[in-house]
Amino acid sequence: MRRMEEIDFFFFWRNLRKHYLWIVLAGVLCGVSAYLVCRYLVPPTYKAEISLFAWGGNPKYENENHLLPSAGPAADDADDARKPRELTQQDIIFGNLLVNDYKELLGSRNVSNEARRRLNLEYPELAEVPYRFEALVLNKTRFIKVSVFSQSTVKAEKAAQIIAEVFSESVEKFMKIKRVQVVDSPQVLGKVSPKTTRVTVIAFLLGAGFVFGLFCLYDFFRYTLRNSDIVKAELDLPTIGMIGICSEKQNANLACLTEKSDSYCFNHILEDFLLLQTNLQYSLPKKNRAQILVLTSAFPKDGKSFTSLNLALTLCGNSKRVLLINCDLRKAEYDYLDLPRQPGLVNFLLGEKKIDEVIHKNVLGTPLSVIRSGPIPPNPTRLLEIFQTSGILDELATRYDYIILDSPPCMNMADPLLLSKLADGTILVVNSRRTPVDAVRQVVDQLRKFDVNILGVVLNRYSAQTAGYGYGYGYGYGYGYGESKSSRKEKAKEKKEEA
């Protein structure tokens, strides 16, 4: 898991830039799915509105106003006496209180059931179409707005009209007041749901954001040694090599095997191993005999054997005599070298063969010598103890310039510890994209307990983009020497024509 101080803008920006195609694809899929659902599966809902004015006053006074005098000589005087008087403050307060009563009455089951009954009687063909309505009292006014929602425009409009009629009758029936007037006749305002555009945009953002969040969580918990700064901060070790990703599908394990050609061909993997070779020259003490190196890793498939073989090939490029010994007795390696697996190191340790009989010399036409592991023994650790006390490395050190021991992984194994005590230095190979920091830290602590000389860390499958740097890996530049792919193809075509 990462440290919280590493969670900054560049952490999110790096994940967005690295996975933007998947993020956009997820957003597009969610957006298109939401659009299709809204367009073809969700029925549209329409809205109709009607505005009512709820006039309130003293009900007793209003009822008295309905008692008109009979015609006669005193009719004019009676009319003058019974004319509505001007509104008082008490009438205004009473009217405002009635507005809340109107709203509660409008939302009652009595109004709802009566309106539904009349709708079903007058429009039986729309009985199966659902609808709902809601009332809104405008702030500090006595205007009531009734909104009806239905999948049918006809039912929405008719329901608004009938609800207004039932409400007026209910006010007169229960409150003895006839003061509700229709201000705006019912009108269909259009489709209110689903809001296809809004839902599509929200679905796109949610889908893209969800996938982006998953990538960020994965990167947060998958804390790997992706650059030299993390190696220094977490392990307090130098980074002596950063090996990129081999782009060639053929002979990927032999990336540093130079082709015999008159012209220079740029090989970025070879350049990485040349830099590793240079760092090793400054890390190892000068000796009159062979330098013995142990390459190990935390887990299998971290690139330990790949690094061991290509480092050996790189060292052979300087006309150095290099011996590569496969000390991982639990599995067979280097099958791609077309060398017989037996006899190997196990046969020598069991006394079945002499050391010269198990050494394969001039491998791939280079000064490289290889000792394969041989048959898988029942107790590899015991055989490595014999290898440790046999003193055979002292004899081989007089014949070669470098001896590379390809060790098993360190997790839960004693083999690397036995081999490291025989070497001048140990190199820890980690997969910069996969190996967790915690696992590598355990390996380093274990090696330090036995006073092993750890020369440094080699970051395999390194990429500047995943490392969090703002520049790309420097493999695309064009130096003033070397051949491009097009020129090599042209030369190959000319050779074919000559043949």
Q: What is the DSSP string of 4-57?
A: GGG-SHHHHHHHHHHHHHHHHHHHHHHHHHHHHIIIIISPPEEEEEEEEEE---
Beta-bridge partners for 184: 51
Distance CA 317, CA 311 (A): 10
pLDDT along the chain (499 residues), means of 10: 75 88 96 94 90 63 42 49 54 65 80 87 85 79 84 88 86 74 84 91 96 90 82 90 72 62 61 90 82 92 89 86 90 76 88 91 88 88 87 90 91 85 92 88 91 92 67 38 47 50
| pLDDT in the model for residue 479 | 37
What DSSP line would sit under 179-244, residue for residue? -EEEEEEEEEEEEEE--HHHHHHHHHHHHHHHHHHHHHHHHHH--B--SHHHHHHHH---EEEE--
310-330 CB burial, b ≥16 within 10 A, e <16: bbbbbbbbeebbbbbbbbbbe
| pLDDT in the model for residue 471 | 42
| pLDDT in the model for residue 496 | 52
Distance CA 140, CA 356 (A): 104
What is the pTM (predicted TM-score) of this model?
A: 0.60
- Our measurement of the distance from residue 443's CA atom to the centroid of its chain's CA atoms, rounded to an integer in Å, reads 29
Q: Any residues with CB less than 8 A from the CB of 31 and at least 6 apart, and which?
A: 200, 201, 203, 204, 207
